[in-house]
Amino acid sequence: MVRIFDTTLRDGEQTPGVSLTPNEKLEIALKLDELGVDIIEAGSAITSKGEREAIKLITSQNLNAEICSFVRALPVDIDYALECNVDSVHLVVPTSEIHMKYKLRKTKEETLESALKATEYAKEHGLIVELSAEDATRSDVSFLIELFNKGAELGADRACVCDTVGVLTPERSFELFKTLSENVSIPISAHCHNDFGMATANTISAIRGGAQECHLTVNGIGERAGNSSLEEVVMALHTLYNIKTNIKTEKLYETSRVVSRLMKLPVPPNKAIVGDNAFAHEAGIHVDGLVKNTQTYEPISPEAVGNRRRIILGKHSGKAALKYKLKLMGISLTNEEFEKVYDKIKNLGDLGKYISDIDLKTIINEVKGEIIKKKILLDELTVVSGNKITPVASIRLDFADECRKEQLIETAFGVGPVDAAINAIRKALSGVADITLEDYRVKSIGGGTDALVEVVVKLRRGHEVVEVKNSQGDIIRASVEAVMEGINLLI
C-alpha cells in the first residue's frame, strides 16, 4: 500500500497566476479527503494571514487525512504551523551544493545543524515530521543518508527526496530510491517535478525502488511544468503494477474538475485519465472495435475514474459510429433523416469541426424541422462601471418554460463589466443550471471605435461542453448573449 501525500494546495497553488481564498482551499481539501488522500499539505503557514486562516479552516473539519504545513528549518515557521493546529510539517531543507552555496549561503555542516535543530523543535511540540531534502536529486547521496538517519534519531517520521527541477530519469530514480530505502531507517517518499515530462514515470520508478509514499497534485499542476499527476500515478499503480492506494478512483474526474474550476486552470482535452478526450473516439475503425468490445481501444473503463466514454463525430466517422451514438443517446431516425444527419456531419467535419452531443441534437432538430425553444430568456441587463466604481451588474431572467413561470433577479460584482454581467447570470442560475465558464476569448473584427467584436465562450455543465460565438459592436452584450445561448443549449 502506497501512501498519497497531496500537495495541490501548496505546490499546486504555486502555479503562476493561481491564488485561492480560504473557502476555496477548504472546498478542495474536502474533495481531497473524500477522494481518500492520506496526507493533505494545506499550505505554508508562514506565507500570510490568509494562508493561516485557510489552514485553520481545514484543520477545524476533523478530516480523515493528516493535515500538513510546509515549513523551512526555522522555529518561526514551525510556530506558525502549530498555531494552525496541523498534524504534521513538511520540513524542507536544501541539500544540493548549488542551493546551499547560492541560496542558503551555508556550508553542509551548517545546513545539517539547522535541519536537525528544526526537527528536534518540531518533535518537542508534538508534530509528525516529514524531513525533506530539496534538490535532492542533484545532491550527494551520502549526505542525504546522513541527514535522514540523524533526523530519524531525533524522531523524524518520514524522509522525502525532492526532484526539484525534474532531472531524474526512471532508471536513476529506481536506483536512488533503492539505495536510500536500504540505508535509511525511516520510510522514504518521492516528490517529483515534470520539467522533462517524466514525473509520473519517475514517481512509479521511485515506488518500485522502495519509496512508500509519493507527493502528487491533482491534474499535475504546480510550478513550471508541474508536479507528478495524482490521477496518472494512482491509476498506473492500480492498473499496471497492481500496487494499491487508498484513493477512491471513481472520484478522480469530479475532483479534477473542482480543482480546475477553483484554480481557473482548464484541463487539457488530451490529459490522461481525466481529460475530456481520454475516453473519446472518432475514427471509424476504433468505434467499430468499441461496439464489439470496449477493451479493444480502452485500457480501463471510463467509469472506473468517474469519466465517461465519448463518441466524437467528425470527418473520420463512419455510419456505424453515428448509429452507435444515436443508440447511446436513445434517438431514433428514419433512413432518410439518418442520411441527412450523416451528410451534415461529414460536411461540418470537412470544415474542421467536430460534432458534440449538443451539436448533434441541433442538427437532428434541423433535419426534423423542429424549432429549439429557449427556456431561459434575458429580460433586462444593467451594468455600472467607472473609474472609482467597482463594476456591478444587475440581471433579470425569465423562464419561457410552460411548467415554470418565474423571474430570476440577481446582482453581482466583477473585475470588469463583462465579468460582473457573467457573474450575475451564474448567480441567478445557481441551483437551477450550474454552468462553468471554461474559456472566454474576444477579438476585434475590423478597425475603428465602432468595430465589431467576436466573443467566443466555452461552457460546461457536467460532462457536456458547448462553444458559442457572438459578434456585436457592444462587448458586454455580445458576451452575455453568447453565454445565454450556451446555457440554453446545455439545458
Q: What is the pLDDT, as a whole number, of residue 442?
A: 84
Each residue of 393-435: pLDDT tens digit? Answer: 888 888 776 555 678 888 888 888 888 888 888 888 877 777 8
Query: Which CATH number among 3.30.1330.20, 3.40.50.2000, 3.40.50.300, 3.20.20.70 corresponds to the domain 3-263?
Result: 3.20.20.70
Please report which helix (H) or strand (E) contains residue 366, including its range: helix 357-368
Is pLDDT of 380 > 60? yes
Q: What is the pLDDT, as a whole number, of residue 292?
A: 66
Is pLDDT of 291 > 80? no
Is pLDDT of 219 > 90? yes
Percent pLDDT > 90 in the chain is 55
* Residue 110: C-alpha distances to residues 73, 106, 418 (Å): 11, 6, 55
Q: CB of 220 within 8 A of CB of 194?
A: yes
Q: Do domains 3-263 and 376-490 have the same CATH topology?
A: no
Q: CB of 22 within 8 A of CB of 49?
A: no
Q: What does the DSSP 8-state code read for residue 355?
A: B
Q: What is the pLDDT, as a whole number, of residue 320?
A: 79
> Which of 101-115, 284-298, 435-449 is least confident?
284-298
Strands 310-311 and 280-281: parallel
Q: What is the pLDDT, as a whole number, of residue 70?
A: 98
Is pLDDT of 146 > 80? yes
Identify the band that residue 286 occupies on the pLDDT scale cut at 50, 70 and 90: low
Grid cell for residue 34? 473524500
The whole-number average pLDDT for the span 48-76 is 97
The whole-number average pLDDT for the span 174-186 is 98
Q: Please give the residue that has the higher pLDDT: either 120 or 350.
A: 120
Q: What is the pLDDT, as a whole number, of residue 56?
A: 98
Strand segments (E) across 227-341: 280-281, 310-311
> Which of 106-120, 221-235, 258-272, 367-381 is least confident?
367-381
The whole-number average pLDDT for the span 362-367 is 82
Q: What is the pLDDT, as a whole number, of residue 122?
A: 98
From the list 36, 14, 33, the residue with the least C-alpha distance to 92 is 14
Q: What does the DSSP 8-state code read for residue 372?
A: P
Q: What is the dihedral of CA 327, 330, 336, 342, to 10 degrees?
A: -60
The whole-number average pLDDT for the span 251-258 is 96
**Widest CA span of the chain, in angstroms?**
82
Percent pLDDT > 70 in the chain is 94
Q: What is the pLDDT, as a whole number, of residue 450?
A: 62
Is pLDDT of 481 > 80? yes
The whole-number average pLDDT for the span 161-171 is 98
Q: Please give the residue that has the higher pLDDT: either 104 or 204.
A: 204
The whole-number average pLDDT for the span 226-230 is 98
Beta bridge partners of 311: 281
Cβ count near 12 (within 10 Å):
27
The whole-number average pLDDT for the span 158-165 is 98
Q: Which residues of 25-55 are buried (b: 16+ CB within 10 A; e: fewer)?
A: bbbbbebbbbbbbbbbbbbbbbbeeebbbbb
From the list 217, 179, 175, the residue with the least C-alpha distance to 199 is 217
Identify the band that residue 447 occupies on the pLDDT scale cut at 50, 70 and 90: low
Q: What is the pLDDT, as a whole number, of residue 160?
A: 98
Q: What is the pLDDT, as a whole number, of residue 362?
A: 79
With 0-12 CB in 10 A as exposed, 13-18 as middle and 19+ as buried, what is 369? exposed
Report the distance separating Cα 43 and Cα 54, nearest Å. 8
| 205 half-sphere exposure, CB direction, 13 A CA radius | 17
Q: What is the pLDDT, as a whole number, of residue 111?
A: 93
Report the distance separating Cα 447 and Cα 84, nearest Å. 55
Q: What is the pLDDT, as a whole number, of residue 321?
A: 80
Is pLDDT of 357 > 80? no
Report the distance separating Cα 212 and Cα 210, nearest Å. 6
Q: What is the pLDDT, as a whole number, of residue 230?
A: 98
Q: Please give the residue that has the higher pLDDT: either 122 or 326.
A: 122
Domain 376-490 homologous superfamily, CATH: Alpha-isopropylmalate synthase LeuA, regulatory domain (3.30.160.270)
Q: What is the dihedral of CA 171, 174, 180, 182, to 10 degrees?
A: -120
Q: What is the pLDDT, as a whole number, of residue 233?
A: 98
The whole-number average pLDDT for the span 460-465 is 78
* Residue 457: C-alpha distances to residues 11, 259, 416, 431 (Å): 30, 20, 17, 21
Q: What is the pLDDT, as a whole number, of residue 287?
A: 67
Is pLDDT of 464 > 70? yes
Is pLDDT of 448 > 70? no
Q: CB of 383 within 8 A of CB of 396?
A: no
Is pLDDT of 58 > 80? yes
Cβ contacts of 124 within 8 Å, gap of 6 or more? none
The whole-number average pLDDT for the span 82-91 is 98
Q: What is the pLDDT, as a whole number, of residue 144?
A: 98
Strands 188-192 and 213-216: parallel
The whole-number average pLDDT for the span 231-254 is 97
From the list 198, 188, 90, 204, the residue with the least C-alpha distance to 144 is 188
Report the distance separating Cα 128 and Cα 211, nearest Å. 18
Report the distance separating Cα 402 and Cα 491, nearest Å. 15
Three-state DSSP state, 46: coil
Q: What is the pLDDT, as a whole number, of residue 365?
A: 81
Identify the band that residue 288 occupies on the pLDDT scale cut at 50, 70 and 90: low
Q: Where are the alpha helices (DSSP H) in 309-356?
A: 319-329, 335-350
Strands 39-43 and 3-6: parallel
Is pLDDT of 30 > 80? yes
Strands 452-461 and 464-472: antiparallel
Domains of the chain, residue spans: 3-263, 280-368, 376-490
> Which of 13-17, 86-90, 155-159, 210-214 is least confident?
13-17
Report the distance separating Cα 180 and Cα 159, nearest Å. 10
Q: Please give the residue that has the higher pLDDT: either 107 or 174.
A: 174
Is pLDDT of 75 > 60? yes
Report the distance separating Cα 34 and Cα 15, nearest Å. 24
